[in-house]
């Protein structure tokens, strides 16, 4: 759980629910996720059904139900991004990963534009907490060094980390501990 950089198509507009909130999306297409699920199902019925059915008490004569009980049902397409070509995802956007993923920054054509935005504004959560007066010292715009190391470095950071009794944002800690 935390923040991650996702590559998105130019001018990507993340889908919203009827209530106006962002629809959480995994950073994978529904078709790829479904194909992986089908592949796992075939492996299950070929290699694992009998042993899992014996261990778990599943009906060996109903492999689909056994697999769904054991591994979960097929992916829900509403929680997956469109099936765009990877080479078309040339823009940069920050997502939270507490859910499947919703944007916490607008999309930008270059990493430098994203860094400048984070330095000037912080992410959407920072902005919301600032507006509501719920900062507790943690919703200022990002320090340039932190934004640069996050965007140009690992591209991922946990939400918060406790180090020596001190709370730090994951971005702060990752910037402090990253190798230049």
Same structural domain for residues 129 and 70? no
Report pLDDT digits (tens) over 34-81.
999 999 999 999 998 989 888 888 888 999 999 999 899 999 999 999
Give residue 133's pLDDT band: very low, low, confident or very high (50, 70, 90).
confident
Three-class secondary structure assignment of the chain: CEEEEEEECCCCCCCECCCCCECCCEEEEHHHHHHHHHHHHHHHHHHHHHHHHHHHCCCCCCHHHHHHHHHCCCCCHHHEECCCCHHHCCEEEEEECCCCCEECCCCECCHHHHHHHHHHHCCHHHHHHHHHCCCCCCCCCCCHHHHHHHHHHHCEEECEEEECCEEEEHHHHHHHHCCC
Give residue 180's pLDDT band: very low, low, confident or very high (50, 70, 90).
low
Same structural domain for residues 91 and 114? no
Same structural domain for residues 158 and 90? no
Report pLDDT digits (tens) over 140-172.
668 899 899 999 998 998 887 887 888 877 787
Mean pLDDT of the chain: 90
**Total domain count for the chain?**
2
How much is the pLDDT for 137?
59
Same structural domain for residues 87 and 163? no
- Residue 27 sits in which domain range? 1-108
- pTM comes to 0.83
Same structural domain for residues 118 and 161? yes
């Amino acid at each position: 759980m935390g923040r991650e950089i996702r590559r998105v198509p130019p001018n990507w507009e993340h889908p919203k629910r009827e209530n106006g909130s962002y629809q959480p999306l995994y950073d994978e297409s529904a078709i790829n996720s479904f194909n992986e699920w089908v592949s796992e199902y075939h492996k299950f019925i070929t290699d694992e059904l009998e042993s899992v059915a014996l261990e778990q008490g599943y009906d060996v004569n109903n492999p689909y139900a056994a697999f769904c009980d054991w591994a979960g049902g097929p992916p829900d397409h509403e929680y997956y991004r469109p099936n765009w070509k990877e080479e078309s995802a040339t823009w940069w956007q920050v997502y939270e990963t507490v859910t499947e993923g919703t944007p916490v920054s607008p999309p930008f054509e270059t990493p430098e534009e994203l860094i400048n935005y984070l330095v000037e504004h912080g992410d959407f959560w920072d902005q919301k907490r600032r507006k509501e007066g719920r900062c507790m010292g943690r919703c200022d715009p990002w320090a340039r060094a932190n934004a640069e190391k996050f965007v140009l470095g690992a591209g991922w950071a946990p939400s918060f980390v406790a180090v020596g009794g001190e709370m730090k944002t994951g971005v702060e800690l990752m910037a402090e501990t990253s190798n230049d």
